[in-house]
Amino acid sequence: MTLLAFIGFFAAEAVPGTATPAAPVPMWTNLVPLALMIVVFYFLLIRPQQKQARQQDDMRKAIKKGDKIVTTGGILGTVVGVKDKSLTIRSEETKFEILKSAVGQVVEDFDKADAVAAPTKA
């Protein structure tokens, strides 16, 4: 018991006609704001991020030979081979093998690659 609570206890008894302390607040009323915050975070942060990750995954699974891609590192290339987890791309006279996770976007034409922005948060 703290000193202030101790003093308050005796002060309340010393004054006649003072009200008794209020009943304790139920525990569930303290959990409602916390639950509401979790729901808001889910719909504003987690769900859109999962949707974007699903779209990126679908895009990477749909890559086929002949597609023009831009890697996350900025390399422009044409897909010449597809494996389970990797791609073989040709950029000018150089041939690379990259992971599918390194693909940033699939483009129609390399001239339009700068105009196509990376997906933004909605």
Residues 51 and 41 in one domain: yes
Is residue 99 included in any domain, yes or no? Answer: yes
68 contacts 108 by C-beta, under 8 angstroms: yes
The CA distance from 18 to 121, in Å, is 57
113 contacts 70 by C-beta, under 8 angstroms: yes
Residues 58 and 71 in one domain: no
Residues 84 and 102 in one domain: yes
Residues 99 and 71 in one domain: yes
Number of folded domains that form the chain? 2
Is residue 103 included in any domain, yes or no? Answer: yes
Banded pLDDT at 25 (limits 50, 70, 90): confident
For 57-91, the pLDDT digits (tens) are 999 999 999 999 999 999 999 999 999 999 999 99
Partnered with residue 90 across adjacent β-strands are 78, 95
- What CATH number is given to the structural domain containing 92? 2.30.30.100
Kindly state the DSSP code that residue 6 receives in the 8-state scheme. H
